[in-house]
Amino acid sequence: MSRTRTPVVAGWFTGEGEGFRLLGTRCSACASVFFPREDAFCRNPGCAGGELAEVPLSPRGRVWSYTDSRYRPPSPYVSDPELSWEPYALIAVELESERLVVLGQAVPGITVADLAIGMEVEAVPGVLHEDEETTWTTWQWRPTGATA
C-alpha cells in the first residue's frame, strides 16, 4: 500500500533532494518578496503595484533564533495521541538576499542543543505526518554541517 505524497500547503515549496526550494512571489515593480506567497497584491505601500511572479527562495540562510515545542501542540497540528510526545525544534531563518525570516521545523534529530544563532541551515523536504492514504510533506531546516 503506497500513500500519496501531498504538500501540507499547495504551492509553498517544490522539488526533491538537492532541488528542493521554498516558493515565494516577487513583485516586478519593487522586488519585494513574499512568503507565504502573495499572489493578489504587493503589500509594499510605496509600490504602485507590479506583477507577482513565483520565485524560488534561497536554499540556505542563517539562524535568526530557535526554540522547541516540549508539549503537544493543539489541533489543527496533527499528532498521534497514542504515542508519547516527541519534542521538535523550530528555527527562524534569515534569508540574506530576500531579506526576510522564515520559520520552520528542524529536521528530526536536531535539538536546540545542536543550534546557535547565526548558524547556516538549508531547506530540505520533510514529512509532517502520515495518515492512511497520504504522506503530508513540508519543509524543514537542517544545519549544513549536520550529517543526519
Partner 1 sequence: MTGDVAVLGVGMHPWGKWGRRFVEYGVAAARAALADAGIGWQEVDSVVGASTVRGGYPGYVAGATFAQALGWQGARVASVYAACASGAQALDTARARILSGLAEVVLVVGADAAPKGFFRPAGGDRPDDPDWLRFRVLGATNPTYFGLYARRRMALYGDTPEDFAQVKVKNAALGALNPNARYRKRVTAEQVAASAVVADPLRLLDICATSDGGAAVVLAGMEFARRHGIAEPVRIRAVSTVSPRYPNTVLDLPDIATDSAAGAEPAPMPFRASIAHAAYEEAGIGPEDLSLAEVYDLSTALELQWYEDLGLCAEAEAGKLLREGATTLGGRIPVNASGGLASFGEAVPAQAIAQVCELTWQLRGEAGDRQVAGARVGITANQGLFGHGSSVVAVR
Where in 83-122 is the site for partner 1 (CB under 8 A)?
Answer: 88-90, 92, 97-105, 112, 116-118
For residue 27, state whether it binds partner 1 (rule: CB under 8 A). Answer: yes
Three cell numbers, residue 114: 545542536
Exactly one of 35, 141, 142, 143 binds partner 1 (CB under 8 A); that residue is 35
Exactly one of 6, 19, 39, 77 binds partner 1 (CB under 8 A); that residue is 77
* Polymer length of the chain: 148
Cα Rg of the chain, angstroms? 17
For residue 13, state whether it binds partner 1 (rule: CB under 8 A). Answer: no
For residue 124, state whether it binds partner 1 (rule: CB under 8 A). Answer: no
Residue number, 15 or 50, with CB nearest to partner 1: 50
Is residue 56 helix, strand or coil? strand
Residue 77 contacts residue 87 (beta carbons within 8 Å): no
Strand pairing category for 60-69 and 13-14: unpaired
For residue 148, state whether it binds partner 1 (rule: CB under 8 A). Answer: no
> What whole-number distance in Å separates Cα of residue 123 and Cα of residue 50?
28
Residues that bind partner 1 (rule: CB under 8 A) add up to a total of 50
